[in-house]
Amino acid sequence: MFQQKRKSTYFLTTLFLGGLFFVVFVSMVPSVRAEDVIVSEEEKEDIKDDINKIEDKLAKEEKKKNLLQSDLANISSTLSATQASIARVSRLVQEAESSIQSKEQEIQNLEQQAILDRHLLRSLLQELYYSNNLPLVEVMLGEDDVTKVLDTNDSLFSTQEKIQQLIGEMNEAKEQIANEKVSLEERKDDHETLLNVQNKQKQGLVLEKNEVAEELEDQATVVSKLQSELNELQGDLQVLTGKSYSASNIKEAISFASGKTGVPKGFLYGMLKVETNLGKNVGGCTYADVEKGAEANYKRGKLSKRSYQTFIARRKTFKTITDELDLDYRKQKVSCNPASYAGTGGAMGVAQFMPDTWLGYKSRVASVTGNNPPSPWNLTDGVTAMALKLKQTPGVTNGDTSALKRATCSYLGTCWEGYYKPVLYWAKNYKQLI
């Protein structure tokens, strides 16, 4: 009986203590409140509303941008036509000037010829009144002499008539040429007047073109900022909804990153071709190999103390990245130690980011791809990180060649022709090369 009572007491005590423990345990566990779920859904709806607003605004701003591009194209076309017309009228002015000079020379030649003919006529007239320096009465005494004088007179008068006729013709020609010269001068004046008008039109078109180009550049900046905001909001929504994107090949990754950042596809193809041969060469060494190589180079004096300290700091960052991704840092593939110059390897993934550079873009990559934490060895994350870095250079999203060159040099850290030229070639011809 006592034993049975003891068992009953033990059971009640155990039950009481168990209940007490359950109450304490439950009170320590964070409760999932309904309002928490509601807040999360509200956040999602708020982000969706913001996305819709930005998409509407983006559509309007892109429409403005397209109109400005159309205006710029029309102005450029009109300017080209005006410049061609100016060149044509300038040629006509030059031709008129040349013709005027030619007519002036013809008039001078005719005047000189008239002077010569008058001298000849004067000489002939003198011979008419003086024959061999003898008086006319003495000449008339002989029959032969008379006949000779008469014949001479007839010849002289005939020559005089011809010369007078020639002088008359030359005067007419001179007058005609003078009239032609006046006509040419009038045409030249008309051409010069037209030329002045066209030059003023050209100046106006150049000013208008510059203004529209500046406005277009500002509009492109607005569109770029809106696109950036939209990408961030979409990334935030992906994080909240747990959705993420991972491309299965380099082409998909480039399309995704280009669509999210506005960086031209061709430019991304060029960068990835030069950096990793479109993702085929993302690192031939393990990080353990890089460690050994860096230590050996430092001991041999090939690597400066400052460079080695930078490597040590990057190694710590690299460990943080791999720990977060649950990877063995020593086995992870990275770029090898450079053989042609003093430096260390350790560049990661398709974009070949160094660890400290990756940290600067990590959160932005996550907001775009939805991969949290993002991985430099993930194709989509890596290409997106590259695009985000290239986008920092103004003008890249517009495809401006000089901007692409600057971005390439900034990415490499120096302007090397052997690097940026292939990139720009691929950027221009990637459709034919892939």
In the chain, what are the domain boundaries? 50-234, 246-283+347-434, 285-315+324-346
Instruction: Write down the number of H helices and E strands in the chain.
Output: 12, 2
Q: Which two tokens stand for residue 134?
A: 């003898």
For strand 333-334 and strand 285-286, is the pairing parallel, antiparallel, or unpaired? antiparallel
Q: What is the CA radius of gyration of the chain?
A: 48
User: What residues are paired with 313 via a beta bridge?
Assistant: none
Q: Identify the pLDDT of residue 347.
A: 95
SS3 (DSSP) at 219: helix
**Beta-bridge partners for 134:** 131
Count of beta carbons in the 10 Å neighbourhood of residue 407 = 24
The Cβ-side half-sphere exposure at 139, using a 13 Å CA radius, reads 17
What was the pLDDT predicted at 219?
86
- pLDDT digit string (tens) for the chain, length 434 residues: 434 444 444 444 444 444 444 333 334 434 333 334 344 677 777 777 887 888 788 888 888 888 888 888 899 889 888 888 888 888 888 887 888 888 778 778 877 777 776 676 666 656 655 544 445 444 444 445 445 544 555 555 566 676 677 777 777 877 888 888 788 888 878 888 988 888 988 899 899 889 988 888 888 888 878 877 776 676 666 656 556 777 788 999 999 999 999 999 999 999 999 999 988 888 889 999 999 999 999 999 989 999 999 999 999 999 999 999 999 999 999 999 887 777 788 999 999 999 999 999 999 999 899 898 999 999 999 999 999 999 999 999 999 999 999 999 999 999 999 999 999 999 999 988 87
Q: Answer yes or no: are the C-beta atoms of 368 and 384 closer than 8 Å.
A: yes
**Cα distances (angstroms) measured from residue 261 to each of 50, 69, 266, 390, 433:** 18, 21, 13, 10, 23
User: Which pLDDT score is estimated for 191?
Assistant: 82
In SS3 terms, 416-428 reads as CHHHHHHHHHHHH
- List of residues 6+ apart from 51 with CB closer than 8 A: 230, 233, 234, 237
DSSP character string of 97-156 = HHHHHHHHHHHHHHHHHHHHHHHHHHHHHHHHH-BTTB-HHHHHTSHHHHHHHHHHHHHH
Q: What is the pTM of this model?
A: 0.52
Q: What's phi and psi for 248, nearest 5 deg?
A: -90, -15
Phi, psi of 407 (to 5 degrees): -65, -40
What is the fold, at CATH topology level, of the domain defined by 50-234?
Helix Hairpins (1.10.287)
* Assigned token pair, 151: 């014949």
pLDDT of residue 61: 86
Q: Distance between CA 404 and CA 263 in Å, rounded?
A: 10
CB 383 within 8 A of CB 350: yes
Tell me if the bond preceding 338 is cis, omega within 30° of 0.
Answer: no
Q: Which fold has domain 246-283+347-434?
A: Lysozyme (1.10.530)
